[in-house]
A and B are shown apart, each in its own frame.
Chain A
């Protein structure tokens, strides 16, 4: 079983500065390649095929929240160095 890879980054931004993050993410989705790294940890994601999108918005007690979740199944990695077809997932 493959180990879990995770990336977490929390910060405080204003609307102007958060645009840069969102634009970078948008570009990553467009090019089907997202690279996220911090402190020696690195995670590369390849969105492809059909992506499940969940948008949630909420306002309660003076606190507002919008969350955008993209979820997809990674394509099985296809090894083609061999004439025999080999399929693995990680």
Chain B
């Protein structure tokens, strides 16, 4: 155990004191005496002080000791949370005593009901020190689970008393009894916090027991052994889509379910053909837990992608669902996300990555193209995210303007007009799209010269313009303004536009540029909700409105509409004026 001068000792005392209070309260329920009452209430002040001392030591240690590593900091934070909850448990004991005073007949409290509750609490308190010292995950989980058991025991008592109350007698005593048991149940809530703090101390992640159980079940269905302490669960990468995402790795030297030792960051195992075989835990996995519908959608989409294009998407190692959430364990892909390549890779690697990406896309579009026409819904997407945009940037909408007789339409008017136009511009065909074709949802593996897709819950048969616009704007909105880097971003956008325009020409997609203008207007506007740099967000908002104005102002056939490429500031105007079929198409 990492020792912190005095802190560990104080903490042990606190656990012992609270255990003592619990024992005494149990005794008091059996045989209340004045002496016991005074002893318990007297010790409460001491426990309060002890908690304050621990709290002070925890904070001052974190603030003053720069040599602490992450693990030690996690441990101190856990100690603090546990101390706060232990003190609360002691308070509940005193509250029980207070309620006992209102009971005319202490005999109403049935030992067969409260003994198992006290036994459960006591067992959990006894687990705290060993779990903290040995970083024992099963011990921490057992403490968490005691809350379920305490809830169950409380519910039985509650329903029994409620049923008895229908005779209308001793209502006062019975309500008091419910209050007393309710305090015991609340001790369970505090124990749950204690257990979760212990999990945090071991894993270094704030993870709720439900999420943890989902992780555990998902891991066990995917070939990981039972010992969760062999798993390094870390890096919560984001919760933007409402999912918790983390990386799961085997701890170096730990054994997999077949007993083979594996290195956490070692090279991939190879199969009989000499090709690397992704093994659960070998390269690590990505764990996603969250909204059931989204996770199911992602699982099904990955399955469909794998059938169509094996190796394009990560392999699924495990899946688990409960009532309202689901969890997925998928292969951790080697390589870098494309935005990393754009911003930090060698020029040659970036050129390679783009070449591979465009080839991959071309193949996908060729093989999954299905004749339309199908309606698009870019303006609906824009409208549905408007509230979220305005929450972040309240000023990013405008009223209609009259400027000495000439004018500008309001944001809503522009969307309405564009939506009416969009209805007349169905996509001539669909392809199976990624659905969130953000530059950071593409992983490029230079060694294998492969681009792979991640984050696939929005994949569907749709207009390819959806993916094209999201990809372009995800590049445009990279918050990088250093001229040389910006030029790389511009190059990526130009390359992509040339390719997309070429595909459109080869397929005879005559309204491509008009639909792309609508899609870009939507992507530019909705992206502002992720951009806190107001100046940059406003720039994207203005560009989005400019595009809508150009669409509304267009006269003539939609086939003659030319996308004002300057909205992407990538110097690609000339590209869009020529309908050169894509070189890959020939």
Q: In the complex, what residues of B have CB within 8 A of residue A39's CB?
A: 398-400, 410
Q: State A9–B398 Cα separation when bound (angstroms).
A: 9
Partner of A38 from B399, B542, B549 at Cβ < 8 Å: B399
> Is B401 in contact with A9, judged by CB distance below 8 angstroms?
yes
Q: Top 5 nearest A-B pairs by Cβ distance? A: A39-B399, A24-B406, A28-B404, A24-B404, A12-B546
> Is B543 in contact with A27, judged by CB distance below 8 angstroms?
no
Partner of A11 from B405, B545, B553, B564 at Cβ < 8 Å: B545
Q: In the complex, what residues of B have CB within 8 A of residue A20's CB?
A: 406
Q: State A62–B545 Cα separation when bound (angstroms).
A: 24
A21 CB–B CB distance under 8 Å: yes
Contacting A at CB under 8 A, from B401-415, are 401-406, 408, 410
> Is A21 in contact with B406, judged by CB distance below 8 angstroms?
yes
Q: In the complex, what residues of A have CB within 8 A of residue B410's CB?
A: 39
Distance in Å: Cβ of B360 to nearest Cβ of chain A: 34
The CB with the most chain B CB atoms within 10 A, among A11, A12, A24, A28, is that of: A12
Q: Which residue of B has the minimal Cβ distance to A33?
A: B404
B566 CB–A CB distance under 8 Å: yes
Using A14-B564, A38-B398 as known contacts, say yes or no to A9 and B404 having CB atoms under 8 A apart. Answer: no
Distance in Å: Cβ of B416 to nearest Cβ of chain A: 17
Using A14-B564, A38-B398, A39-B399 as known contacts, say yes or no to A27 and B404 having CB atoms under 8 A apart. Answer: yes
> Is A12 in contact with B545, judged by CB distance below 8 angstroms?
yes
Q: Which residue of B has the minimal Cβ distance to A45?
A: B404
Q: State A11–B539 Cα separation when bound (angstroms).
A: 9
Q: Which residue of A has the minimal Cβ distance to B564?
A: A14
Q: State A14–B542 Cα separation when bound (angstroms).
A: 12
> Is B543 in contact with A21, judged by CB distance below 8 angstroms?
no
Q: Which residue of A has the minimal Cβ distance to B542?
A: A12
Q: In the complex, what residues of B have CB within 8 A of residue A21's CB?
A: 403, 406
> Is B405 in contact with A27, judged by CB distance below 8 angstroms?
yes
Q: State A28–B406 Cα separation when bound (angstroms).
A: 11
Q: In the complex, what residues of A have CB within 8 A of residue B404's CB?
A: 24-25, 27-28, 34-36
Distance in Å: Cβ of A84 to nearest Cβ of chain B: 36
B534-558, CB under 8 A of A: which get 1 and which 0? 0000100011011001000100000
Q: Which residue of A has the minimal Cβ distance to B553?
A: A17
Q: In the complex, what residues of A have CB within 8 A of residue B403's CB?
A: 9, 21, 24-25, 36
Distance in Å: Cβ of A36 to nearest Cβ of chain B: 6
Q: In the complex, what residues of A have CB within 8 A of residue B566's CB?
A: 14
Q: Which residue of A has the minimal Cβ distance to B408?
A: A11
A82 CB–B CB distance under 8 Å: no
A54 CB–B CB distance under 8 Å: no
Q: State A28–B401 Cα separation when bound (angstroms).
A: 16
Q: State A27–B564 Cα separation when bound (angstroms).
A: 29
> Is A36 in contact with B402, judged by CB distance below 8 angstroms?
yes
Q: In the complex, what residues of A have CB within 8 A of residue B546's CB?
A: 11-14
Q: In the complex, what residues of A have CB within 8 A of residue B553's CB?
A: 17
Q: State A14–B550 Cα separation when bound (angstroms).
A: 10
**Can you list 8 pairs linking A and B with CB atoms under 8 Å apart?**
A9-B403, A11-B546, A12-B543, A13-B546, A14-B566, A24-B405, A35-B405, A36-B403
Q: State A4–B545 Cα separation when bound (angstroms).
A: 29
Q: State A39–B398 Cα separation when bound (angstroms).
A: 8
A5 CB–B CB distance under 8 Å: no
Contacting A at CB under 8 A, from B220-250, are none
A27-44, CB under 8 A of B: which get 1 and which 0? 110000011111110000
B391-403, CB under 8 A of A: which get 1 and which 0? 0000000111111
Distance in Å: Cβ of B43 to nearest Cβ of chain A: 66
Distance in Å: Cβ of B107 to nearest Cβ of chain A: 74
Q: State A35–B546 Cα separation when bound (angstroms).
A: 23
> Is B402 in contact with A11, judged by CB distance below 8 angstroms?
no
Q: Which residue of A has the minimal Cβ distance to B483?
A: A62
Q: Which residue of B has the minimal Cβ distance to A37?
A: B402
Q: State A35–B406 Cα separation when bound (angstroms).
A: 10
> Is A35 in contact with B545, judged by CB distance below 8 angstroms?
no
Partner of A9 from B408, B538, B549 at Cβ < 8 Å: B408
Contacting A at CB under 8 A, from B138-158, are none
Q: State A34–B410 Cα separation when bound (angstroms).
A: 21
Distance in Å: Cβ of A37 to nearest Cβ of chain B: 5
> Is B402 in contact with A38, judged by CB distance below 8 angstroms?
yes
Q: In the complex, what residues of A have CB within 8 A of residue B408's CB?
A: 9, 11
Q: Which residue of B has the minimal Cβ distance to A42?
A: B402
Q: Which residue of B has the minimal Cβ distance to A28?
A: B404
Using A35-B404, A36-B403 as known contacts, say yes or no to A17 and B549 having CB atoms under 8 A apart. Answer: yes
Q: State A25–B405 Cα separation when bound (angstroms).
A: 9
Using A11-B545, A17-B549 as known contacts, say yes or no to A37 and B406 having CB atoms under 8 A apart. Answer: no
Using A17-B549, A20-B406, A24-B406 as known contacts, say yes or no to A10 and B542 having CB atoms under 8 A apart. Answer: yes
Contacting A at CB under 8 A, from B392-444, are 398-406, 408, 410
Distance in Å: Cβ of A58 to nearest Cβ of chain B: 18
Distance in Å: Cβ of B331 to nearest Cβ of chain A: 43
Contacting B at CB under 8 A, from A40-65, are 40
Q: In the complex, what residues of B have CB within 8 A of residue A40's CB?
A: 399
Q: In the complex, what residues of A have CB within 8 A of residue B542's CB?
A: 10-12
Q: Which residue of B has the minimal Cβ distance to A40?
A: B399
Distance in Å: Cβ of B251 to nearest Cβ of chain A: 51
Q: State A77–B412 Cα separation when bound (angstroms).
A: 39
Distance in Å: Cβ of A9 to nearest Cβ of chain B: 5
Q: Which residue of A has the minimal Cβ distance to B401?
A: A38
Q: State A23–B400 Cα separation when bound (angstroms).
A: 19
Q: In the complex, what residues of A have CB within 8 A of residue B538's CB?
A: 10
Q: State A28–B542 Cα separation when bound (angstroms).
A: 26
Q: State A13–B567 Cα separation when bound (angstroms).
A: 10
Using A11-B546, A14-B564 as known contacts, say yes or no to A38 and B405 having CB atoms under 8 A apart. Answer: no
Distance in Å: Cβ of A12 to nearest Cβ of chain B: 4
